[in-house]
Structure formats: structure tokens, C-alpha cells
Structure 1
Amino acid sequence: MTVQAPSNVVMIRPNRFHPNPETAADNRFQSLPTLGADEVAANAWSEFDTAVQRLRDEGVGVHVFQDERDDTPDAVFPNNWFSTHPGGHVAIYPMFVPSRRRERREDVIEMLKREYRVQVVTDYSGLEQDGLALEGTGAMVIDHIGRIAYVARSHRADPILLERFCTNFGYEPMVFDAIDEGGAPVYHTNVIMAIGTHFAMVSLDMIENNDRRADIAARLAEPGRDVIDLTHAQIAQFAGNAIELSTPTGLMTAISSRALAALDKGQIAMIERSTRIVPLDIPTIEAAGGSVRCMIAGLHLAKRNFTIEKAAK
């Protein structure tokens, strides 16, 4: 496992999946379903199960939890309510809309404590009562190598809470304004940026300030990464919503089939210099406004070695 690319992840199997009307106001990536509710939910289950099996076939450790509620349509996107960090640190986040606050679950955190070396759990979720939100690794795209949290300004990423998180976890905040072709602010940073060990993908054209744009490109490239500049059209196909993972046979990049089809040959070649690309077919789930990265909560934690620990006792 590299610092940037986890080898184990958490994924939540949806129950009554459907695009969430509470989040549609600022999520331009959502689309209305053309099928009935039961068919939409069934298609999402099938896409999810196939994606999990594909990741496991590649050697990724996937912890699957079943959502059992009827009022959590976005439960399939757990990366927004918790994140994990090297050194045994876990963060739990406040969410912007009420339905998403119901996605947090204690059994996931207890599993992390049981199977990984968790030292500290920092829970910011109580700040929802003060109207603050910081939606995890959707609002923040974290460079674990450079210790930078890249954040597009939005009401899903409160600046006060961001500063508190970065102070507590030891990251430098890199905040910027990002807008789509219609002039609307980007709702989550991880739809326009993905950071791997040896490459990063970002839509530089969506970053408004020229100086900030240059700063971000330079900082992403600092560790020796290739910086792949994505177009507005590619972002609309979720090309920025990918995640690099570690496997027993090397690094891989998980990305949706739709997103991969939007990349050109040169961009694909740059990614494949250091990772193999694994496409996941999730068109129904993408209708809710998130893609592969949103579905995967990476575990940047050391696993417990139960054999050694039992022998020591």
C-alpha cells in the first residue's frame, strides 16, 4: 500500500436507492430517473454488487455494509461522512442536508477499531447544529503525500471547519473557487480532481483565479506527478471522480466506464504509466450525482495482525 492508495475500502450496498431531491439544488451531476423506483433500486444493487466483485477480483479488500434504511438514498456514497488517515486517525463529518446525516453508522466505526489500528476518532458531526458542513473526501481531495487538502469553495465545505480539520490532522488547506460552464459553483471537489501516487487529474479550466490555477498545478506536480488536465465535457462524464488503490499486483485506478470513455488516448496512456485502469459500470448510481470515487471510502489505516497479537499474549 502506498500512502496515497489504500488497499482496503468500505462500501455501502444501497437499499432504496434513488437520486436525492434534497441534494439536487446544487448537484448539477444529478439526473431524473426514467424508470420506476423498484427498477432503479434493483439496477443499483446489481451495479454495486458487480463493482464490489470486480474490485475483489483485482485484490482490493472490500468491507461491504448493507444499508437497511428507506430514507437514506445516498448511502452508497460513504466517503462523505467519514475518512481515515495514516497514523490511526478517523474523522466523522457534518453533512449539509438532513437525509445525508442519517447515513452515519456506528457499526462501520466499530469495525475499523476492531480490524485496524485506530488511535483517535474525531467527530465533527455535532457542528451540524451550528449550520456547518464539511462533507469528507467529497468536499476535500487529499494529497496524503504532500499533506494538502484541496477544497473547492461551497456550502458543503465550511471554511472554519476546514481550518479546524487541517489543524487537527496536519494538512495544508488549498482552497479555490471552481465553477462549471453554466457559472455554478462545483458542489464537491472530488468531481473535478483525483490524486494518485504518480499522476493527478484536474479540470484546471474550472478554477477561476489564474494565479490559484497555476499554484494548484504546481503543487500537484511537486512530488513528480503527471498532471492530466480534464475538460468541462470530461468532468460532466465523471472523469475526475476516480480513485487509485493498491493491490497485491500493483497500483490500479478505479473509474467508471462512462468516465473512461470520455478520456483521450494520451490521458489514458499517462495514467497507465503507473497504474492499470479498472472500469466499473454504474450508470444508475451515477444518476444520483456521484461516481466511483464517491462510492469508495479508502482505509488509510494499518491492519491489525491478529496472529502476532495473540502470540504476544
Structure 2
Amino acid sequence: MSQITNTILMIRPISFRMNEETAVNNYFQQDLSIKNAEINAKAQHEFDAFVEKLKAVGVNVIVVQDDKTPDTPDSIFPNNWVSFHENGDIGLYPMFAENRRKERREDVFLTLEEAGFKINNIVDYTTAEDEALYLEGTGSILLDRVHRKAYCALSPRADEDLFIEFCEDFEYTPVVFNAYQDVDGKRLAIYHTNVMMCLATDFAVICLDSIDDKKERKTVVNSLKQDGKTIIAISEAQMHEFAGNMLQVEGKNGQAYLVMSHAAHESLTTQQVGTIEKFCPILSSSLETIETCGGGSARCMMAEVFLPRD
């Protein structure tokens, strides 16, 4: 059982822009005063450069082109609607924004099967949308696949009961907490766990300052320490540069890399970089347009494929 994979699914955007439906509780999103066509062109350029960097170190990147219809401005973030597991199961998730629900595409599964991956079963949570309950994939859920623990910061996009149901179905022990950020002088829920926390094989990058409740913070810290993970604490300011939105992946010859955006990399202190590089090299790419308009970064763009091969 490995914490990381060498295969990543990524969706190349065709109508990327700031999604007005997600901006209501994604406080990382900002408006750019340029035309949508220009925003999409810049996002495509960033996407392509990022994919090339991943491929250059031997990561197997499966790129699926998005379609013009239906209109899916956030299709570049597939990890929110789907997860792919070692036993051949796929998780399908209920999404907060109605226009994001259109991102779910069965042809993606055919692409993976054509690439030699085996799909046994689809575990579908999407009917929860009818009750206005949401759990946005590995945006909401951080999986420690080795120790079978799942971490979740509750938010309008991460319902506790649904999360517990997921943990029962996929046999993970739940670690539930609340994480907040400053928005106009108020402490509001961070929309996705994976912007404040990253789980790698031997370490975790986490914004502990966002967990206001001391008991909850202690529970998370103890859980990580129990599994022998080195904790690299980032500040809220670094989190806002997407320093929590990282993913460890495997390149050629089994070499691990911690993947992040250029902004996230730049925000890290020399000491934090040094600690990370004791475990693995950093791979970073400029994702400025995607981060600004999409309110998501490198980790959100990569759906890990752990499916068995035929």
C-alpha cells in the first residue's frame, strides 16, 4: 500500500473563468478584470506548462480535454467530483455548485480503462445533492492510505454524516475538525481541507493556526504524530498563497516529488523548504491565473489514479 501514485488524471480547460457559483464560499477566488477568453487562454498555457513539468520527471499524466458544452468553468479541478481507489472502486461526489455537477463525465472512466486500468465498482454519493448535502472528493477528504485515516475540515462543502459514510464504505478512520480563515474580520470556514493541509508519505504540511479549537488541533497533531509524520506548520498567510494545496506524486525510478504552485513555493521559508527537501524534491509551476480566478491550485488540478491495472 502506497500513499502516492505515479498516475494523475487532469482535465484541460476550455471555458475556465471565475465561477460565480463557487465564489460565495471560496474566499480564495478573485476577479481578474480581463475577458473570459483571455483568462481561459492564460489558464490553458499554465495547465500545459504544468503537465510538461510533471511528465518531464516521469509522472504518468492522463490529460482529458474538456468540452464547450456543458459550461463547466471549474472542470480543471477534477479531484472534487471523483476519486480512484486501489481496490478498483471509484467515488462520485455531491457538489455544492450546480454548474460543477456537470463536470462528472463517464467518458473519463472509459479513457482510464483504455489506458489499462480496472474499474470494479462505482460508489455514488451524488443523490445527497437533493438534500443539499455535499462532500467534494479529495478536496474535502485527505486520505492517509497507509494508516487508513481520513481527515476532513467541515464546511458547507463537507458534510460530517456524509464523510462518516464515506469512511465506513472505504474503511478509513475519520479525523474530523473545523478550519477557519479571516474574511473581512470574521472567522469563516475554509471551503476545502486540501487548501490548509497536505499529507505526504512521511510528513504533513498543515496550517494549524486555522484550527481554532485547541482540542481539535491537538487531536489532528496527535493523529499525525502517531503515524510518524513530521509536521511542517504553515501560517495563514502562506495558506493564502496555496502552500497547503500540495500533492506528493511519484516520478520515474520511484522518486517522490512534492508538487505545488510557484506562489506556494515562493511563500515557504528556507527552513520549511529544507525540511521538505529532506524527504523529496519540490516541483513547482506558475499557476497564477488558475489560482486567482479558480481559488484552487496544484493539488486541486490532479486526480490521483490508484486503480489496479488489468
Is the pair's TM-score, using the shorter chain for normalization, greater than 0.5?
yes
User: What's the offset of the Cα at 1:113?
Assistant: 3.8
- The answer to whether the Cα contact below 8 Å between 1:29 and 1:289 also exists between their aligned partners in 2 is yes
Structure 2 match to 1:36? 35
Q: 1:114-147 CA distances to partner (integer Å, 9 max, x unpaired)? A: 4213222111112212222110000111111221
- The answer to whether the Cα contact below 8 Å between 1:3 and 1:300 also exists between their aligned partners in 2 is no
Structure 2 match to 1:286? 291
Q: Could you tell me how far apart the structure 1 residues matched to 2:65 and 2:240 are?
A: 29
In the alignment, does 2:109 pair up with 1:105? no
User: What's the offset of the Cα at 1:302?
Assistant: 2.3
Structure 2 match to 1:307? none
User: Structure 1: which 5+ residue stretches go unaligned?
Assistant: 305-313
Structure 2 match to 1:74? 74
Q: Could you tell me how far apart the structure 2 residues matched to 1:268 and 1:32 are?
A: 30
Structure 2 match to 1:126? 127
Q: Could you tell me how far apart the structure 2 residues matched to 1:226 and 1:239 are?
A: 16
User: Structure 2: which 5+ residue stretches go unaligned?
Assistant: none
User: What's the offset of the Cα at 1:88?
Assistant: 1.6
- The answer to whether the Cα contact below 8 Å between 1:191 and 1:238 also exists between their aligned partners in 2 is yes
Q: 1:187 aligns with which of 191, 194, 210?
A: 191
Structure 2 match to 1:138? 139
Q: Could you tell me how far apart the structure 2 residues matched to 1:10 and 1:162 are?
A: 23
Structure 2 match to 1:47? 46
Q: Could you tell me how far apart the structure 2 residues matched to 1:255 and 1:303 are?
A: 27
Structure 2 match to 1:198? 202
> What aligned pairs does 1:179-258 form with structure 2 within 5 A after superposition?
179-182=180-183, 183-249=187-253, 250-258=255-263
Output the aligned Cα RMSD: 1.2
Q: Could you tell me how far apart the structure 2 residues matched to 1:107 and 1:122 are?
A: 17
User: What's the offset of the Cα at 1:109?
Assistant: 1.8
Q: Could you tell me how far apart the structure 1 residues matched to 2:118 and 2:230 are?
A: 32
- What SS does structure 2 have at the residue aligned with 1:150? strand
Structure 2 match to 1:157? 158
Q: State the identity as a percent.
A: 39
Amino acid in structure 2 at the alignment position of 1:171: Y
> What aligned pairs does 1:263-274 form with structure 2 within 5 A after superposition?
263-274=268-279
Q: Could you tell me how far apart the structure 2 residues matched to 1:216 and 1:3 are?
A: 21
Q: Could you tell me how far apart the structure 1 residues matched to 2:171 and 2:189 are?
A: 27
Structure 1 match to 2:282? 277
List structure 1 segments (4+ residues) > 6 angstroms apart after TM superposition.
Answer: none
Q: Could you tell me how far apart the structure 2 residues matched to 1:116 and 1:147 are?
A: 23
User: What's the offset of the Cα at 1:209?
Assistant: 1.3
User: What TM-score does the superposition give when structure 1 sets the normalisation length?
Assistant: 0.94
Structure 2 match to 1:85? 85
Shift of the 113–125 alpha-carbon distance from structure 1 to 2, 3 Å rule, reads: farther
Structure 1 match to 2:173? 172
**Count of residues in correspondence between the two structures:** 303
Q: 1:27-85 CA distances to partner (integer Å, 9 max, x unpaired)? A: 01001012222111110111111111110111000110111135100000000000012
Structure 2 match to 1:309? none
Q: Could you tell me how far apart the structure 2 residues matched to 1:117 and 1:274 are?
A: 31
